[in-house]
Amino acid sequence: MQVSVAHHPPNTAVLVLRGSLDIDTAPALKANLSRLVERPAPRVVVDVSGLDFCDSMGVGVLVTAHGRAAERGGWVRLASPSGFLRRLFDTLGLSDYLPMFPDVAAALKEE
């Protein structure tokens, strides 16, 4: 999996993921997200349009990051989830917990 980060004002980061998010790659995402959500009122958009697979380890990293961000007065949002990822979050009952948006622009715009 490839991860790139772009910073947007105010205090917002966009993480772009490419490849597979699974047991082997989840630790790299966790490290990146942990740094970002430890800031005051963190705002993180995770662009998942380039993911071709996500397992329970990946879901766990995303959900944990959102919880940590919320504790600090911020959020984590998913942008451009595939049908597979939407169904996965629906099946797990997480669609209402972790906000999903059609694209990065929409995720950045919403307050």
Mean pLDDT of 83-100: 93
CATH code linked to domain 2-108: 3.30.750.24
The gap between the terminal CA atoms of the chain, to the nearest Å, is 29
- Of 63, 7, 74, the closest CA to residue 30 belongs to 63
Predicted pLDDT at 104: 95
- Percent of the chain having pLDDT more than 70? 98
Mean pLDDT of 3-22: 88
Name the DSSP letter for residue 42.
-
Predicted pLDDT at 9: 72
CA distance 86 to 68: 22
pLDDT mean across residues, the chain = 93
